[in-house]
Chain A
Amino acid sequence: MSTTTAHLGKVAAPEKSVLEQVKFAELSSVPALLARNAREFADAPAYREKEYGIWQSWTWADAAEEIEALALGLMNLGVNEGDYVAVIGRNRPYLYWSMIAAQMCGAIPVPLYQDANAEEMAYVLGHCGARFVIAGDQEQVDKVIDVQEELHQFEHMIYLDPRGMRKYDHTRLHEYEHVQTQGRAAFDEYEKELKRRIEKSTWDTTCVMLYTSGTTGKPKGVVLSNSNIVLTAKNSSEFDNLQRDEEILAYLPMAWVGDFIFSMGQAMWTGFCVNCPESPETMMTDLREIGPSYYFAPPRIFETQLTQVMIRMEDASNFKKKMFDYFMNHAKKVGPNMLDGESVGLVDRLKYAVGEVTTYGPLKSALGFSKVRVGYTAGEAIGPEIFEFYRSLGINLKQLYGQTEAGVFITQQPDGQVRNDTVGVPSPGVEVKIGDNGEVFYRSPGTFVEYYKNPESTADTKDADGWVATGDAGFFEEDTGHLRIIDRAKDVGKMSDGRLFAPKYVENKLKFYPDILEAVVFGADRDTCTAFINIDLTAVGNWAERNNIAYASYQELAGHPEVYGSIASHIAEVNKSVAQDPMLSGCQIHRFLILHKELDADDGEMTRTRKVRRKIVAEKFHDLIAALYDGSTEVSTVTEVTYEDGRKGAISATLELRDVEVQANQKMAAQ
């Protein structure tokens, strides 16, 4: 090998790559798993990405070569052991490789949320002291350049897509491919050192650092070790009997622990192929083309897909609509039972088979779920109707309960024991206990090492015996042994008369209506509960179109009297159902308003994973809350909004406040 040919990008391949040279005693790290996969499954597909309209693919052998070249290139740029390497961008094979290459160099990969704004990014980059950043495209590069003055440790940035950056100052900027080319050319120079660093890795070496989305306060860096990731990947793969021919679509944020476990941990452990969509917008088309066998999505995505199906069915011909309704009713009756392996009559089975040919099959195909063998949803509660819809089609959708600190899995539902109101039994290797105040605690091989540079928080969350407080209140059902989660432990409060206040419980019930996108319930330390509602523009907009209701903006539609009417009737129904439960009957909603803007992460009202930041919403809209409790029927307000490009504006609105029918307290009714 001569270095003189380096500029041509053609370097003869080394006789034996570094990964082939290293002798791994155990499969105790991602590079060790990569070496095994490259050796044993060399010609099987490892990664695919749709680019220029075609699915490009890399075998395990290809991937190992690319990753090693990048690792050598990173060493050439000066990556040291213990450095933090931030990775920012949409799901792409190259970025997954970046994380493994960083691990090979003895550095710690830190994936970041790609839609974070520059300040959020500055905080995380500053906190972990990243010396290197690997960014997907110009947008991400620009954000880092914007804040680089504040980042004292930041040195070099590597980018993937060179578009628009030809004229950037390249003293600290490097193109991904060039880094690899230089790495290949410098094989002889760094071969021994890279081998030494890979061999140094143990079960306790940090595998990855993931920042929590930060529902409260600043994000915290969760340190996960090799044993956390590898053992969790092993246990969870065995739980669902994942195989090497599994296909998954990697489309959820790379900074999220779930994606790291599914697309990195489990993919490496079992050796299945990770498919990356062409762009976030084409995800649905790509999903259909790939037809994953193992699929994960938050409830929101299942909701959106169901809404789209229903809207399109409205446009279908009469015959098709009738057929759809008929077979869907049948599916609801027997589908879930058949999935759980219970006995179902012959006639019903035959009818279901006809439905499969005429309705369920085509529908699953259109949704991209034809081949789903194991599907999971988590993060938020899923509406019972939505959950049942997918299960009745024969899609094995299950729930799991987890968090970043656990390396995802705390509890999950085994096949055949799936219900919409529980989150299943403890995952393999996980111990779960309920504290005196109802809080859920767990201990597992996946339990995180610590919060980076934050011993107080670590001590608050994890005790000396390794039990971690989840912050969620829940209980085990006596007859089934399944865990049920009520709410965030700190959100479960008391009303002024001492009754239990569990806002999330009510909000989830409200969000199950397709025209309600978000709900925020208030009532801690007050006599009654009230709510903010966000309408779902797709569903309500469609309804408006059908009923010839003209509207020019979200705000106008949100304020429409008929919309108010239908939301009020939903809330009245929810009140009825809440009143059933004597413990929670105080949480009935007495008054509500429909917000004039969608709650948005750019305005800080939600986290990037789209969880409502209750406290910030309460502070920002304090005037509206006051109006809900002072009995007025109208309120004027001005709200600051942030546009996607960071500019600010203000919208003013006059909102209507409405009373809703509530059920008498059962105790009082009995008197």
Chain B
Amino acid sequence: MNTSVEPYTTEDGREIGGVVMEMKNITLRFGGVVAIKDISFDIRQGEIRAIIGPNGAGKSSMLNVISGFYTPSEGSVWYQGAPRPPMKPYQIARQGVARTFQNIALFEGMSTLDNIMTGRLTHMKSSMLSQGLWWGKAQQEEAEHREIVEKVIDFLEIQTIRKTPVGRLPYGLKKRVELARALAADPKILLLDEPMAGMNVEEKEDMSRFILDVNDEFGTTIVLIEHDMGVVMDLSDRVVVMDYGKKIGDGSPDEVRNNQDVIDAYLGVAN
């Protein structure tokens, strides 16, 4: 693993930049329950950063802290070199953080196209009234956003389901539509909460390919939570391992794989 903060180029030719986001001593409590205990790690520009850990380790809570849905009880999130004040999730979305959900959260009755169009919402400038009446600037704006959305559709190869209501799609495709919606927001950081959960091998391979392509083509920084170890080790540049709300490992996939604490957390410890 490269420990300096100097930009470097990975073996497969991707450029990793400086630190774009940093968690500094984050603690998150819900009443008496401590979900995250004093965790610090950083996310660098252009890298694929995985967060792994057994069930209940606090991974999703961590992602919610990054996305701004939860405000940490202690510690702070530094974004682009400055501490980020508490914000509403939509404000954070405007800063360029987009996400997908562990349990798909799409509008089932709307078409794939319309679902992805909602990803452009934070970029729309015309008023709700003019959008509702589809009058003046709203018309032109929709055409511009549609063009961006069509490029995403092309990128993720979902042209066939453009007009299909999302409710009728199989699970693997829904996941892809969700990724498309997040991508349409043109994010700087993309948060993926278990992007491969419940997929078969072929769907996982497709999804892995798309994640790598997104990172490669657009240079998007990706933070992902995933249970499939094979996928995590293949995809990510660096991995944070959590257990019972604590960080027990952080480093390249190889370092993490050989970390005794991580092995103990996953396989249990003989008493």
Chain A residues in contact with chain B, CB under 8 A? Answer: 51-54, 163-164, 166-167, 278-279, 281-282, 285
- Contact of B154 with A by CB under 8 A: yes
Instruction: Check if A279 sits within 8 Å of B162, measured CB to CB.
Output: no
In whole angstroms, how far apart are the Cα atoms of A54 and B150 in the complex?
A: 9
In whole angstroms, how far apart are the Cα atoms of A51 and B162 in the complex?
A: 13
Instruction: Check if B155 sits within 8 Å of A53, measured CB to CB.
Output: no
Considering only CB atoms, which chain B residue lies closest to A138 in the complex? B213
Beta-carbon contacts under 8 Å, B146-160 to A: 146-147, 150-151, 153-155, 157, 159-160
Other A-B contacts than A163-B217, A281-B160, 12 sampled, CB-CB below 8 A, are A52-B154, A53-B113, A53-B150, A53-B153, A53-B159, A53-B162, A163-B213, A167-B12, A167-B13, A279-B159, A282-B159, A285-B160
Instruction: Check if A279 sits within 8 Å of B217, measured CB to CB.
Output: no
A171 CB to closest chain B CB (Å) equals: 15
Instruction: Check if B147 sits within 8 Å of A163, measured CB to CB.
Output: no
Q: Is the interface of A mostly helix, strand, loop or mixed?
A: loop
9 inter-chain pairs at a CB distance below 8 angstroms, sorted by A residue, are A52-B147, A52-B151, A52-B153, A53-B162, A166-B217, A167-B13, A279-B159, A282-B160, A285-B160
Chain B residues in contact with chain A, CB under 8 A? Answer: 12-13, 113, 146-147, 150-151, 153-155, 157, 159-160, 162, 213, 216-217
Instruction: Check if B151 sits within 8 Å of A279, measured CB to CB.
Output: no
Instruction: Check if B155 sits within 8 Å of A279, measured CB to CB.
Output: no
Query: Which residues of A are found within 8 Å of B157, using beta-carbon distances?
Result: 279
Query: Which residues of B are found within 8 Å of A54, using beta-carbon distances?
Result: 150
Query: Which residues of B are found within 8 Å of A163, using beta-carbon distances?
Result: 155, 213, 217
A289 CB to closest chain B CB (Å) equals: 11
In whole angstroms, how far apart are the Cα atoms of A281 and B157 in the complex?
A: 10
* A52/B150 contact (C-beta < 8 A), A164-B213, A164-B216 known: yes
Query: Which residues of B are found within 8 Å of A281, using beta-carbon distances?
Result: 159-160
Query: Which residues of B are found within 8 Å of A167, using beta-carbon distances?
Result: 12-13, 216
Query: Which residues of A are found within 8 Å of B153, using beta-carbon distances?
Result: 52-53
B213 CB to closest chain A CB (Å) equals: 6
In whole angstroms, how far apart are the Cα atoms of A411 and B12 in the complex?
A: 56
Query: Which residues of A are found within 8 Å of B151, using beta-carbon distances?
Result: 52
Query: Which residues of A are found within 8 Å of B146, using beta-carbon distances?
Result: 53
Considering only CB atoms, which chain A residue lies closest to B155 in the complex? A163
Considering only CB atoms, which chain B residue lies closest to A279 in the complex? B159
Considering only CB atoms, which chain B residue lies closest to A285 in the complex? B160
B148 CB to closest chain A CB (Å) equals: 10
In whole angstroms, how far apart are the Cα atoms of A279 and B157 in the complex?
A: 9
Instruction: Check if B160 sits within 8 Å of A279, measured CB to CB.
Output: yes
In whole angstroms, how far apart are the Cα atoms of A279 and B216 in the complex?
A: 23
A108 CB to closest chain B CB (Å) equals: 33
B235 CB to closest chain A CB (Å) equals: 16
Considering only CB atoms, which chain A residue lies closest to B153 in the complex? A53
Query: Which residues of B are found within 8 Å of A282, using beta-carbon distances?
Result: 159-160
Query: Which residues of A are found within 8 Å of B13, using beta-carbon distances?
Result: 167
Query: Which residues of A are found within 8 Å of B159, using beta-carbon distances?
Result: 53, 278-279, 281-282
In whole angstroms, how far apart are the Cα atoms of A164 and B113 in the complex?
A: 24
B160 CB to closest chain A CB (Å) equals: 4
In whole angstroms, how far apart are the Cα atoms of A52 and B113 in the complex?
A: 12
In whole angstroms, how far apart are the Cα atoms of A297 and B151 in the complex?
A: 31
For the complex of A and B, list the 7 residue pairs with the smallest distance between their C-beta atoms, beginning with the closest: A52-B150, A167-B13, A281-B160, A53-B150, A278-B159, A282-B160, A282-B159
In whole angstroms, how far apart are the Cα atoms of A163 and B213 in the complex?
A: 9
In whole angstroms, how far apart are the Cα atoms of A282 and B162 in the complex?
A: 10
In whole angstroms, how far apart are the Cα atoms of A167 and B13 in the complex?
A: 7
In whole angstroms, how far apart are the Cα atoms of A270 and B150 in the complex?
A: 34
B165 CB to closest chain A CB (Å) equals: 15
In whole angstroms, how far apart are the Cα atoms of A279 and B156 in the complex?
A: 13
Considering only CB atoms, which chain B residue lies closest to A161 in the complex? B154
Considering only CB atoms, which chain A residue lies closest to B151 in the complex? A52
Instruction: Check if A164 sits within 8 Å of B160, measured CB to CB.
Output: no
Considering only CB atoms, which chain B residue lies closest to A283 in the complex? B160
In whole angstroms, how far apart are the Cα atoms of A347 and B213 in the complex?
A: 63
Query: Which residues of B are found within 8 Å of A285, using beta-carbon distances?
Result: 160
Considering only CB atoms, which chain A residue lies closest to B162 in the complex? A53
In whole angstroms, how far apart are the Cα atoms of A350 and B240 in the complex?
A: 75
Which among B12, B146, B154 has the greatest number of chain A C-beta atoms within 10 A?
A: B154
B214 CB to closest chain A CB (Å) equals: 11
A10 CB to closest chain B CB (Å) equals: 23
Considering only CB atoms, which chain A residue lies closest to B163 in the complex? A285
In whole angstroms, how far apart are the Cα atoms of A164 and B218 in the complex?
A: 11
Which among A53, A163, A282 has the greatest number of chain B C-beta atoms within 10 A?
A: A53
Query: Which residues of A are found within 8 Å of B147, using beta-carbon distances?
Result: 52
Q: Identify B217's interface contact among A52, A53, A164, A278, CB under 8 A.
A: A164
In whole angstroms, how far apart are the Cα atoms of A598 and B169 in the complex?
A: 26
B217 CB to closest chain A CB (Å) equals: 7
Query: Which residues of B are found within 8 Å of A51, using beta-carbon distances?
Result: 154
